[in-house]
C-alpha cells in the first residue's frame, strides 16, 4: 500500500524505482540474507542518483523489514521469512511479472481459512441489513455466472471481491479489516493475473448463496463450511488434489 501505483509504464519516482530494483534483487535471492548492501554513497554513484534518494529507497525497504540499517555499520539484508511483514506479499506472489505458484498456493490456503472464519463470525453478527447486502451481491454473482448478465470473468472477480469485503465488514473485526487491506493489495495489483481463477470454471457462486442462507439463519457452522467450500474451489482448481498432501 501507499507505495503502490504500480502502473505499467508510468513514470516512477526515482526513489521508488531504486527501491523496486533492490527489492527485486533481494526477493529473487540475488543478494541473499545476511549479505551487506553497497554503501549509500556507492549506490548513489552506481544508480546516478542523489544519496538522499538512495536513503529514501532504503528506508522503504527497511520499513517492510527487508533490510536492516545500522548506524556506523553496514546495511544488511534480512531473512525475508523471519522479519518481513505482509507488505511484501504482493511482490512475492507476483514476482518477475509472473505469479509464483508456490506463493500463490500458500495465499489460497490462507484464504480458505479467512473465508471460513469470516463466514462463521458473520453468521454471529450479521444484522438484517447485512444479510440483505450480502444477498444482493450473491444474486448478482449468480446472474453473471449463469450468463443472464454480462461481464465475464472480470465482473465475477470484482463481485467476488465485493462479497469478501462485505463479509469482512460484517464481522466487525478491525484486525481483519487491516488484513483485508493487504489482501486487496495482492488482489488488485494486477487483476489480470488472477482472472484465470474465474475462467477455469473453478468459481461457483452456489457456495456463496449457501453461505448467505446460513448467515441469515445464524448458522455459524454452516456459513463456515460454505465459505470453506468456496475457498477450496479455487485451491483445488489451481492445485489438483492428487498433488496435495505433499509439498
Partner DNA sequence: GAGCGTCAAGTGGTCCGACCACGATCGCCC
Partner DNA sequence: GGGCGATCGTGGTCGGACCACTTGACGCTC
Assign residue 31 a region (left: φ > 0; alpha: ψ between -120 and 50; beta: otherwise): alpha
* Binding to a second copy, residues 33-72 (CB under 8 A): 52, 55-56, 59-60, 62-65, 67-68
Q: Which does 247 bind (CB under 5 to 8 A by kind): a second copy, DNA, none?
A: a second copy
Extract the runs of DSSP E, i.e. beta strands, from 114-210.
none
Q: Which does 22 bind (CB under 5 to 8 A by kind): DNA, a second copy, none?
A: none
3-state helix, strand, coil in the chain (%, to 5): 70, 0, 30
Q: Does 75 engage in binding with DNA (CB under 7 A)?
A: yes
- Taking residue 2's Cβ as centre, other Cβ atoms within 10 Å add up to 8
Closest approach of DNA to the CB of residue 189, in Å: 20
Q: Which residue has the cell 506463493?
A: 103
In the complex with DNA, which residue's Cβ is closer, 75 or 172? 75
List, in order, residues 6 or more apart from 141 with CB less than 8 Å away: 156, 159, 160, 163, 205, 208
Q: Does 177 bind a second copy (CB under 8 A)?
A: yes
Nearer to DNA, 59 or 217 (CB): 59
Per rule CB under 7 A, is residue 71 in the interface with DNA?
Answer: yes
- Least distance to a second copy, CB of residue 206, Å: 24
Name which position in 33, 49, 99, 110 contacts a second copy (CB under 8 A): 110
d(CA 71, CA 83): 19
Q: Closer to a second copy at the Cβ: 41 or 59?
A: 59
Question: In whole angstroms, what is the distance from residue 139 CA to residue 145 CA?
Answer: 10
112 grid coordinates: 480458505
> Do the Cβ atoms of 68 and 34 come closer than 8 Å?
no
- Nearest residue (CB) to DNA, 53 versus 180: 53
Site for a second copy in 70-89 (CB under 8 A): 81-89
How far apart are the C-alpha atoms of 102 and 141, rounded to whole Å? 29
- In the chain, the N- to C-terminal Cα span, in Å, equals 31
Nearer to DNA, 45 or 113 (CB): 45
Residue 204 touches which member of DNA, a second copy, none, C-beta under 5-8 Å by kind: none
Handedness of CA 162, 165, 168, 172 (dihedral sign): negative
Phi-psi region of 34 (alpha: psi -120 to 50; beta: other; left: phi over 0): left
87 binds, among DNA, a second copy, none (CB under 5 to 8 A by kind): a second copy
| Binding positions for a second copy, rule: CB under 8 A | 1-3, 52, 55-56, 59-60, 62-65, 67-68, 81-89, 92, 102-103, 106-107, 109-110, 113-114, 117, 121, 124-125, 172-179, 181-182, 245, 247
| Binding positions for DNA, rule: CB under 7 A | 11, 13-15, 37, 39-42, 49-53, 55-56, 69-75
Amino acid at each position: 500500500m501507499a507505495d503502490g501505483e504500480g502502473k505499467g509504464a508510468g513514470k516512477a519516482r526515482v526513489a521508488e524505482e531504486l527501491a523496486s530494483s533492490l527489492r527485486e534483487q533481494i526477493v529473487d535471492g540475488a543478494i541473499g540474507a545476511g549479505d551487506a548492501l553497497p554503501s549509500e554513497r556507492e549506490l548513489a554513484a552506481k544508480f546516478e542518483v542523489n544519496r538522499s534518494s538512495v536513503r529514501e529507497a532504503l528506508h522503504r525497504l527497511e520499513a517492510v523489514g527487508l533490510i536492516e540499517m545500522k548506524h556506523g555499520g553496514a546495511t544488511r539484508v534480512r531473512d525475508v521469512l523471519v522479519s518481513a511483514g505482509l507488505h511484501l506479499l504482493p511482490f512475492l506472489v507476483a514476482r518477475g511479472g509472473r505469479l509464483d505458484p508456490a506463493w500463490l498456493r500458500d495465499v489460497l490456503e490462507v484464504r480458505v481459512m479467512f473465508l471460513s472464519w469470516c463466514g462463521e463470525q458473520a453468521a454471529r453478527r450479521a444484522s438484517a441489513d447485512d444479510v440483505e447486502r450480502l444477498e444482493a451481491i450473491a444474486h448478482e454473482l449468480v446472474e453473471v455466472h449463469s450468463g443472464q448478465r454480462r461481464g465475464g470473468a472480470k465482473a465475477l472477480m470484482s463481485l467476488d471481491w465485493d462479497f469478501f469485503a462485505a463479509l469482512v465488514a460484517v464481522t466487525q473485526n478491525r484486525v481483519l479489516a487491516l488484513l483485508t487491506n493487504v489482501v486487496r493489495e495482492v488482489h488488485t495489483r494486477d487483476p489480470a493475473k488472477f482472472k484465470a481463477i474465474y475462467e477455469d470454471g473453478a468459481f461457483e457462486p452456489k457456495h456463496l448463496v449457501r453461505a448467505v442462507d446460513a448467515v441469515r439463519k445464524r448458522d455459524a457452522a454452516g456459513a463456515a463450511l460454505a465459505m470453506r467450500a468456496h475457498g477450496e474451489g479455487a485451491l483445488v482448481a489451481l492445485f489438483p488434489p492428487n498433488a496435495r498432501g505433499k509439498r
